[in-house]
């Protein structure tokens, strides 16, 4: 420690250390955010031939960030500050998270990191080709290596009951395999039979959204929607990308992207509101806590709760379209001349099993996640071999969705996640939806006249409630603590099921 220029009273020394900690962590954030901008640019504006340059630039920045994140100097400061009684609660919490991250980073040896990173690089391009040719066999050897590496990673990181716990923890700290099993048991018991009932009913007519909607008008409407929910364009922007995403470089620069299909308005509508929910979370994090745990989102599950609350609980609701229908008519007067708000509401809520996760409705979506969870868990515990995945996958798709998988491109090759080495990520999508229903229910109870405001196209009360309840706290609370503070209980699937029965029961005339 070299802070001898500070007078040697304990408090000042500690204050200097905490300041030094902030500097180190924030400069690591600078590198990561710079890399994130390079990634954003890659998906939006980068000329095609720039890809090789970009790959090496990203790799260099990742290496620098890792180097700084595992520096001995940082470790010493963190070990010192973690036992410092003079820090306040927020500072203590920052140190706790940073030390956790530091110790975790130190568990990875250089060889493992470079092997994993090289394997992923190869696997992504092999996966793209394999998917385009619907050829699982071409991808299998790479997936095998990735699964082996992930098994090693579980051992490096350690876990409580199940190796998969170590991977879940990466995306949803504290979430255990058995928790996910309990949730999906609830899904099987309650949601599966309810969806089967819906499937007996006729589909709504959704041709209203399948007309021709010019790209530039859609883009303007999507910006209108973002403004309506309160996304701040002075701290963000929207661009077009192949897959919609949200990225941030600090709370004052949070960018969303959207995707536009000129023959299907639903894609943009739901995508924009979804990313807007992610964007509002990032814009609502405390600005002064740039790069610190206090300035970060709690977990992927909580992040997804924000996007899905806006997309599903709000954006697919009857109330929302009562308020926003005039806006839709304003942008597309011809297309919606003879329609009602309820037509849009119904068109956005067709329940129709699909082979493709990203095209799924908000209910059967969770069946897709169950298939992925079961596959990942079985792979990690060794009860499933990579070469057996297609059969395993297809039988479960048949079982949950009643569909026959045509080929692996629309089956087990459809998602990019595994080629990225992201195992344990998928469950956060379902958890996000379940949190969303629970949070939305609490919001309606706690905010007077909330749904009347939504019906009137006014969203500031909901946005402010989410900000005050969730966003401003950063990582001060765990997902579980946050959920208990807001709703009085931990995550409970009942709220999602209540929401589902109420909405779809009415829509499909199920008692």
Q: What positions carry a catalytic annotation? A: 275
Choice from 82, 113, 199, 252 touching a second copy (CB under 8 A): 252
* Residue whose C-alpha is closest to residue 306's, from 191, 248, 298: 298
Q: Are 69 and 102 in contact (CB under 8 A)?
A: yes
Look at residue 429 and give its three-state secondary structure. helix
Give the nearer residue to a second copy in terms of CB position, either 171 or 290. Answer: 290
- What is the C-alpha separation between 39 and 438, in angstroms, rounded? 33
What secondary structure letter does DSSP report for 477? S
Q: And the tokens for 355?
A: 């082979």
Does 53 bind a second copy (CB under 8 A)? Our answer is: yes
Distances (CA, A) of 274 to 117, 245, 258, 432, 462: 30, 9, 10, 12, 15
Question: Which is it for the CA torsion 476, 479, 484, 486, positive or negative?
Answer: positive
User: In terms of CB distance, is 58 or 176 closer to a second copy?
Assistant: 58
Instruction: Kindly state whether residue 61 participates in binding a second copy, applying the rule CB under 8 A.
Output: yes
Residue number with CB closer to a second copy (139 or 249): 249
The answer to the question of residue 202 lying near a second copy (CB under 8 A) is no
Q: Tell me which of 10, 12, 19, 37 binds a second copy, using CB under 8 A.
A: 37
Stretch in the footprint of a second copy (CB under 8 A) among 30-38, 115-123, 362-370, 414-422 = 30-38
237 binds a second copy (CB under 8 A): yes
Q: Which residues of 185-210 are buried (b: 16+ CB within 10 A; e: fewer)?
A: ebbeebbbebbeebeeeeebebebbe
Of 52, 89, 448, 511, the one binding a second copy (CB under 8 A) is 52
Map residue 510 onto helix, strand or coil.
coil
* C-beta closer to a second copy: residue 290 or 429: 290
Angstrom distance (rounded) from CA 95 to CA 87? 10
163, 244, 250, 279: which one binds a second copy (CB under 8 A): 250
Fill in the DSSP letter of residue 6. Answer: S
**Residue 253 in contact with a second copy, rule: CB under 8 A:** yes
165 binds a second copy (CB under 8 A): no
| Angle subtended by helix axes 136-157 and 365-381, to nearest 10 | 70
Half-sphere exposure of 36 (CA within 13 A, CB side): 16
CA distance 335 to 33: 42
DSSP 8-state secondary structure symbol assigned to residue 252: T
- Binder of a second copy out of 60, 86, 189, 446 (CB under 8 A): 60
Least CB distance to a second copy at residue 382 (A): 36
> Which tokens is 352 given?
């129709």
Give the shortest CB-190-to-a second copy separation in angstroms. 43
Nearer to a second copy by C-beta: 59 or 339?
A: 59
CA atoms 157, 163, 165, 170: torsion sign:
positive
Q: Does 232 bind a second copy (CB under 8 A)?
A: yes
46, 71, 90, 444: which one binds a second copy (CB under 8 A): 46
Site string for a second copy, 354-383 (x = CB under 8 A): ------------------------------
Count of residues that bind a second copy according to CB under 8 A: 39
Quick one: which of 353, 361, 358, 371 has its CA closest to 414? 358
Binding residue for a second copy (CB under 8 A) from 2, 5, 7, 49? Answer: 49
Distance between first and last Cα of the chain: 69
Q: Is 223 in the site for a second copy (CB under 8 A)?
A: no
Binding mask 79-108 for a second copy (x = CB under 8 A): ------------------------------
Select from 2, 5, 8, 48 the one that contacts a second copy (CB under 8 A). Answer: 48
Segment (H or E) for 100: helix 89-107
- Region 274-313 residues binding a second copy, contact defined as CB under 8 A: 290
Is residue 54 close enough to count as binding a second copy by CB under 8 A?
Answer: yes
Q: Which is nearer to a second copy, 54 or 259 (CB)?
A: 54
From 41-49, 120-128, 207-215, 471-479, span contacting a second copy (CB under 8 A): 41-49
Q: What is the DSSP string of 19-86?
A: HHHHHHHHHHHHHHHHHHHHHHHHHHT--GGGHHHHHHHHHHHHHHHHHHHT-HHHHHHHHHHTT-TT
CB of 19 to a second copy, least distance (A): 15
If one asks whether residue 111 binds a second copy (CB under 8 A), the answer comes out as: no
460 CA to centre of own chain: 23
Collapsing DSSP to helix, strand or coil, 238 comes out as strand
Q: Point out which span in 26-34, 145-153, 197-205, 356-364 binds a second copy (CB under 8 A).
A: 26-34
Query: Residues near 388 by Cβ (< 8 Å), separated by ≥ 6?
Result: none
Q: Which stretch binds a second copy (CB under 8 A): 44-52, 300-308, 330-338, 383-391?
A: 44-52
Does residue 182 interact with a second copy by CB under 8 A? no
Q: Is 237 left (phi over 0), alpha (psi -120 to 50) or beta?
A: beta
Rounded Cα distance, 475 and 90, in Å = 9
Nearest-approach distance from CB 156 to a second copy, in angstroms: 26
> What is the closest distance, in whole angstroms, from the C-beta atom of residue 64 to a second copy in the complex?
6
Q: Assess 24 for contact with a second copy (CB under 8 A).
A: no
Residue 31, interface with a second copy (CB under 8 A)?
Answer: yes
DSSP H or E stretch at residue 380: helix 365-381
56 binds a second copy (CB under 8 A): yes
Among 14, 25, 35, 167, binds a second copy (CB under 8 A): 35
Q: Which spans of this chain sit near a second copy (rule: CB under 8 A)? A: 26-27, 30-31, 33-35, 37-38, 41, 45-50, 52-54, 56-57, 59-61, 63-64, 232-237, 239, 249-250, 252-253, 255, 290
């Amino acid at each position: 420690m070299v802070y001898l220029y500070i007078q040697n009273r304990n408090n000042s020394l500690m204050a200097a250390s905490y300041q030094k900690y902030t500097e180190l962590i924030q400069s690591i954030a600078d590198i990561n955010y710079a890399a994130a901008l390079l990634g954003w640019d890659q998906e939006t504006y980068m000329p095609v031939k720039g890809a090789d340059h970009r790959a090496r630039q990203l790799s260099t920045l990742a290496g620098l960030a890792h180097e700084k994140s595992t520096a001995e100097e940082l470790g010493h400061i963190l070990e010192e500050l973690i036992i410092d009684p003079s820090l306040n609660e927020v500072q203590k919490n920052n140190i706790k998270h940073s030390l956790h991250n530091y110790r975790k980073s130190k568990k990875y040896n250089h060889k493992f990191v470079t092997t994993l990173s090289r394997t992923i690089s190869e696997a992504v391009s092999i996966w793209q080709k394999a998917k385009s040719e619907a050829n699982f066999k071409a991808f299998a050897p790479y997936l095998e290596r990735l699964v082996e590496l992930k098994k090693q990673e579980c051992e490096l990181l350690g876990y409580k009951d199940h190796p998969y716990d170590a991977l879940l923890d990466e995306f949803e700290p504290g979430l255990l395999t058995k928790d996910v099993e309990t949730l999906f048991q609830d899904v099987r018991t309650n949601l599966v039979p309810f969806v089967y009932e819906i499937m007996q009913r006729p589909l709504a007519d959704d041709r209203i959204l399948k007309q021709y909607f010019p790209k530039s008008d859609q883009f303007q409407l999507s910006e209108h929607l973002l403004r309506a929910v309160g996304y701040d364009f002075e701290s963000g922007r929207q661009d077009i990308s192949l897959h919609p995403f949200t990225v941030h470089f600090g709370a004052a620069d949070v960018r969303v992207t959207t995707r536009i299909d000129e023959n299907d308005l639903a894609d943009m509508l739901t995508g924009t509101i979804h990313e807007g929910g992610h964007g509002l979370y990032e814009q609502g994090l405390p600005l002064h806590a740039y790069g610190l745990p206090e300035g970060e989102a709690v977990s992927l599950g909580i992040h997804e709760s924000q996007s899905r609350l806006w997309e599903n609980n709000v954006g697919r609701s009857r109330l929302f379209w009562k308020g926003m229908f005039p806006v839709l008519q304003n942008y597309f007067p011809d297309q919606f001349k003879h329609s009602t708000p309820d037509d849009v509401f119904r068109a956005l809520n067709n329940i129709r099993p699909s082979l493709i996760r990203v095209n799924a409705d908000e209910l059967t979506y969770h069946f897709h996640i169950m298939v992925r969870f079961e596959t990942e868990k079985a792979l990690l515990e060794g009860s499933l071999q990579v070469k057996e995945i297609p059969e395993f996958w297809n039988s479960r798709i048949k079982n949950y969705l009643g569909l026959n998988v045509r080929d692996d491109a629309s089956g087990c090759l459809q998602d990019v996640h595994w080629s990225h080495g992201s195992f344990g990520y998928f469950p956060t999508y379902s958890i996000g939806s379940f949190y969303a229903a629970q949070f939305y229910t609490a919001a309606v109870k706690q905010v007077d006249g909330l749904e009347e405001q939504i019906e009137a196209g006014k969203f500031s009360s909901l946005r402010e409630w989410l900000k005050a309840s969730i966003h401003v706290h950063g990582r001060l609370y765990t997902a579980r603590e946050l959920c208990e503070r807001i709703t009085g209980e931990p995550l409970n699937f009942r709220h999602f099921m209540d929401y589902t029965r109420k909405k779809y029961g009415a829509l499909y005339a199920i008692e």
